[in-house]
Structure 1
Amino acid sequence: MGENIDAHQLKENLVQLRCHFTWGLVVEDSEVPDLENRIWEEIEFLDTKYNVGIYNLLAYVKHLQGQDEDALQSLNEAEDLIHREHADLSDIGSLVTWGNYAWLYYHMGRLEEAQTYLDKVEDTCQKFASQFRYSMECPEMDCAEGWALLKCGRQNYVRARACFEKALQVEPENPEFSTGYAITLYRLDSDHNNVISLNPLRQAVRLNPADTYIKVLLALKLQDVNQEDEGEMYIEEALGSTTSLMYILRYAAKFYRRKGCVERALELLQRALRETPSSAFLHHQIGLCYRSQVFQINEATHKQPIGQDKEKLDNMVRLAIFHFKSALEQRPTFDVALLHLAHMYVTAKDYRKAEDTFQKVLLIKPQEQKILQEGHFYYGRFLEFQKKSEADAIRHYLKAIEVKFASPAREKSIRSLEKLALRKLQRDESDLEGLSLLGLVYKLKGEIHKALEYYERALSLAAVSDKAVKHGPQVI
């Protein structure tokens, strides 16, 4: 019977579905294993009402890895969940799952079964008077798409935000839509270097009072805006609960590390790591704790540790390197972990590995502007102070400044350029590059009169130099 189905026509109909196979989810091949690990962690440890979507995403990830039979099993789990927990929305709630079934069977060459699920979608669209034959415009579908995009990484966050915003326009008080929107904005905050997620997180906590996960995200955001006491109240409240405990441990540890309570943070992270030993997030956070201890020792000893301090520092450096590398084994494109690993190699005076790691940071084109900027700035410092190459350092400070993103790394790059320019002019007050760089520094600071003064001196010297070349002795 399947041979009577027109495969070409079937595919034309399938592309009209709204499901994981048609949403254009951007997932690099190297990120798929880590994505699957995070999905399994969420299924096992995150207490949420919204697991239908995660089983659908797992099915899609299994398909990407060529494991279509396992993918079918995940879709069965999703369908069972819909009937058990969302019976009131079983038709609309099943549209994404049926769409994924149809695509999966199509890829497996089981066209008759693909058509069966396509027919289910069509019947539901007719039942709810959709203007489209194989898709529906409704906030539930927008929300499902938003969650899928959110789970697949930073490169999808802007589109995820648009999906949740669209859903909230229809139902502004919907707890699930509010949660997805708040989490997406929390993830985007680091790109925008601001606090766009604070009020949405407060709204999500109001609408989801039992959701401890959203509470700890609010706590971290409150810490960002110097409201740490209120944030700690939410942290302790969440730690007193048993729901989503593995996730609470992670974010509570991040909160305490940033507060300066590194031992407390390590205790929480080690508890979580025993349950999820392959978590890239946990290994990175543990590495950051050991890095903080390295900074503390260096500060206390004015960067000249001896005896037990030196032994402790060397051990902390080794442990930080181990955990940053472990994070990267799980997620090779984890750009910030790569940058932190490069820092630790510099601290360990392993300059060959530091050079290789900095090159990798810049080669993978970090997804966050902030990381790209920091990559150029810290590589510039490495080139200036460890490799003693002023020219190469200047080039990377300039690249950091070219990234139009207001951040401490950009300001530090400007100050580093200023110091290098002044050093050049101390050696030679007619140094053309030094004058030009100082002109740029003053321009970036908004001191236009000083900038013009140095630019004019540079232009005048360049003109004199050009004239000397033109009228100098001719070589015959």
Structure 2
Amino acid sequence: MEDVDQETCTWPVHYYNLLSYIHQALGSSTEALMNLNKAESVIQEQGTEEAGVRLQVNKANLAWVYFHLGEMEKSKEYLEEVERLQRMHPAPPGCTLHPEVSGEKGWTLVKFDLSKKCQAIDYFKMALKAQPDRKEWHKGLARVMTMEFAQSQFTPEQTVEQLKIAHEKDPNSLLLHAHYLLKLSEKTEKEKGQKKVSSENIEREMQDLLERTLETGNLEGLHIILRYYTKEIYFDKALQIAERVQEKFPSSVLASKLLANSYKWKVYNMEGSEEKEIFARKAIKLYEEAVRHNPHSYKVKIALASMYRYVNNRERSHEIYQQLLSEIKDFSPERQQHIYYNYAFHLFDCRQYEESIKYHMKVAKIPSDSVDKQKSIKILQNIVRKGRSRHCEEILLILERINISD
């Protein structure tokens, strides 16, 4: 819920649709219906042909909620209304779906379905084919192209170009602007020639963006700004920024979490055990607070577990992982892979090498493709090449089953 706000959504109807989806997933149908009714009110106020198309999405969502409530007649009525609206507002020639529908599908997959993010790319491209100037679809495609899974599908030039288009169409989006500058800086790093001038310009723009973030209180792009400073300059600069933001917005959960992340990366990249412990304790305090605020945040729990290692409290790290493992069936396949992958490293750190291998094997066995799966597969391939583990034969069978050669 904390990740869905009106700043990160492309338009009010999209915001209410996402809130409705979340409430329904949490079992609160009343709240879901209330948000869908708000979405419909916004659509009706438009009074344009586009409103009739957007109602297709709204009515289909209402049919879905009533279906889950067991009110089949109402669900059927809304589905019939969707069919009527589709006849009134058919998809453009060459499109299987109306761009309003395919674009909404794309945004929903980006926000909630990790396993189908590749499909989101297709939906946004489909929407842009019919509406090439629509900023919402350019923004959606740009966002999904910056995600880790998509890095192998696009060249840096393609990603930067799409971010540039999206930023030009929505210059007020601090998140898009931050993504654009970060990707541009990464591209510039690999190029020769005017690298110094380009880097200085990017740094100046990023500093301006930081000041806008502090001035407006809109923190949606802050994590990208911090990532830039972590990569481009040094960790202390990112840490100073995070502390400055947290000082200005002390009640912001996001600001506290990002400060904790900055402490974490400082710990990972510094020498000297005493100093590491000081920063690790600072991170732990903030992460514990974040977990109290949102006990379902598995990534925060993993980060918290990693910090306890640096204060010589592996028992607490182990407790956190055991809790996550006890709830593993509640997570999506990709999140299961992420938990198993990090737990494998925790076990390796505890010198439980064979147990660590077992969890990399668990990651590889899960059908969904992910960055964590690719990393675990590489580790398993190296283990087979060395030939020292008693699990080598089992690993070979797993790799063969998923069509990976050693």
Q: TM-score, normalised by structure 2?
A: 0.71
Name the residue aligned to 2:261: 288
Structure 1 residue 130, shift from structure 2 partner:
6.5
Of the two structures, which has the highest relative contact order with CA contacts closer than 8 Å and spacing of 6 or more?
Answer: 1
Q: In the alignment, what sits opposite 1:264? A: 240
Distance 1:240 1:269, change over 3 A: closer
1:320 corresponding residue in structure 2: 283
Question: Are 2:19 and 1:64 equivalent residues in the alignment?
Answer: no
Tell me which moved more, 371-380 or 98-107: 371-380
Q: Conserved in 2, the CA contact under 8 Å of 1:68 and 1:108?
A: yes
Partner of 2:203: 232
Please state how far the C-alpha of 1:352 moved relative to its aligned partner.
1.4
Aligned pairs for 1:288-437 (under 5 A) are 288-295=261-268, 298-299=270-271, 301=272, 303=273, 305=274, 309=275, 313-329=276-292, 334-358=297-321, 364=328, 367=334, 371=338, 375=342, 378-384=345-351, 389=352, 392=355, 405=374, 414=382, 433=388
- 2:163 is aligned with 1:201: yes
Give 1:251's aligned residue: 224
CA-CA distance at 1:324 after TM superposition: 2.9
Q: CA deviation at 1:316?
A: 2.2
Q: Tell me the CA shift for residue 276 of structure 1.
A: 3.8
Letter in 2 for 1:128: H
**1:98 and 2:59 are equivalent in the alignment:** yes
Partner of 2:42: 81
Q: How far did 1:148 drift? A: 1.4
Distance 1:108 1:266, change over 3 A: same
- Are the structure 2 counterparts of residues 49 and 110 from structure 1 closer, same or farther at C-alpha, using a change threshold of 3 Å? same
Change (3 A) 1:433 1:93: closer
Distance 1:126 1:337, change over 3 A: same
Q: How far did residue 79 of structure 1 move? A: 1.8
Please, which runs of 5 or more residues in structure 1 have no aligned partner? 1-35, 422-431, 441-476
Structure 1 position 52 matched with structure 2 position 28 = no
SS at match of 1:37: coil
Distance 1:333-1:398 versus aligned 2 partners, 3 A rule: same
Shift of 1:179: 0.6
Q: Secondary structure at the match of 2:106?
A: helix
Secondary structure class of the residue paired with 2:146: helix
Counterpart amino acid of 2:30?
Answer: E
2:2 corresponds to which of 26, 30, 37: 37
The answer to whether 1:128 aligns with 2:128 is no
Alignment-derived partner of residue 180 in structure 2: 218
Deviates more, 1:330-339 or 1:366-375: 366-375
TM-fit CA distance, 1:320:
1.1
Closer, same or farther in 2 for the Cα pair 1:166/1:324, shift >3 Å?
A: same
- Is residue 341–residue 359 contact of structure 2 (8 Å, CA) maintained in 1? no
The answer to whether the Cα contact below 8 Å between 1:178 and 1:203 also exists between their aligned partners in 2 is yes
Kindly state the Cα deviation for residue 354 of structure 1 after the two structures are TM-superposed.
2.5
The code of the aligned residue for 1:379 comes to: H
Equivalent-residue separation in structure 1 for 2:13 and 2:27 (angstroms): 22
Q: Percent identity?
A: 20
1:382-426 deviation per Cα after TM superposition (whole angstroms, max 9, x unaligned): 133xxxx5655676788899976369x957995x999xx7xxxxx
Q: Deviations over 1:281-331 (max 9, x none)?
A: x554222212234356x52x4x3x3xxx5xxx5442222123334444555
What is the total number of aligned residue pairs between the two structures?
Answer: 364
CA contact (8 A) 1:139 1:170 kept: yes
Cα distance change, pair 130–193 in 1 and its aligned pair in 2 (3 A): closer
Which one is further off, 186-195 or 160-169? 186-195
- Residues 132-147 of structure 1: matches in 2 within 5 Å? 137-147=97-107
C-alpha spacing 1:243/1:98, structure 2 compared with 1 (3 Å) = farther
Give the whole-Å Cα distance in 1 for the aligned partners of 2:14 and 2:360: 44
Shift of 1:345: 1.5
The two structures have a TM-score, normalised by structure 1, of 0.62
More deviation in 287-296 or 323-332?
323-332
Amino acid in structure 1 at the alignment position of 2:243: E
Question: How far off is 1:152 after superposition?
Answer: 1.2
